[in-house]
Amino acid sequence: MISVSAEMEETIKRISGRKGVKGVLVMNHAGQTIRTSMDPELTKQYALQYSPLVKQTQTTVSTLDEENDLTFLRIRTKKHEVMIAPSKLWVSGGVEDKCMGRHGLTKSILHA
C-alpha cells in the first residue's frame, strides 16, 4: 500500500465519518487507488470511470487556455454529489448524499 501522510489518513478518516458521506477515494493520476473508504468493487468502478473524466476535464480546461488549470470538479446527480479535487500528486474525491451540507465536505477535500 502506497504510504500517505498521517495528515491525509486523518483527513480521509474524518471525511468518510461525516454524516451523508458515502465514500472517499484517493487515486494517483494513473487511476490507481491510494486510499478508499468504499468496498473494493465500488472503488474499482469509481476509479475506472472518474479517472478518465478528470483527465478529460483537465484537458478541456487547458485546451481553452494553456495557463489555466482545473482546481475542483463538482458533479451533482439525481442521487448524490461527487466532489473531486485534483492536485499535483493525487486526485481526491468524495461522494455525498445530495441533502447534506456540501460546503463542509468541499473544504475538507480541498485540504486532503
- Which spans of this chain sit near its own copies (rule: CB under 8 A)? 45-46, 49-50, 52-53, 56-57, 60-61, 63-65, 67-79
- Cβ closer to its own copies: 3 or 65? 65
Whole-number minimum distance, CB 16 to its own copies, in Å?
Answer: 18
- Residue 46 to residue 38: CA distance in whole angstroms: 10
Q: What is the largest CA-CA distance in the chain?
A: 39
Tally Cβ neighbours within 10 Å of residue 54: 19
Distance CA(61)–CA(47), nearest Å, equals: 21
Spatial strand order in the sheet of 33-36: 33-36, 21-28, 90-97, 80-86
Residue among 19 and 65 whose Cβ is closer to its own copies: 65
Which residue number, 7 or 69, has a Cβ lying nearer to its own copies? 69
CB 3 → its own copies: shortest distance, Å? 29
What is the closest distance, in whole angstroms, from the C-beta atom of residue 56 to its own copies in the complex?
6
Around Cβ 97, how many Cβ atoms within 10 Å? 13
Find the shortest distance in angstroms from Cβ 77 to its own copies. Answer: 5
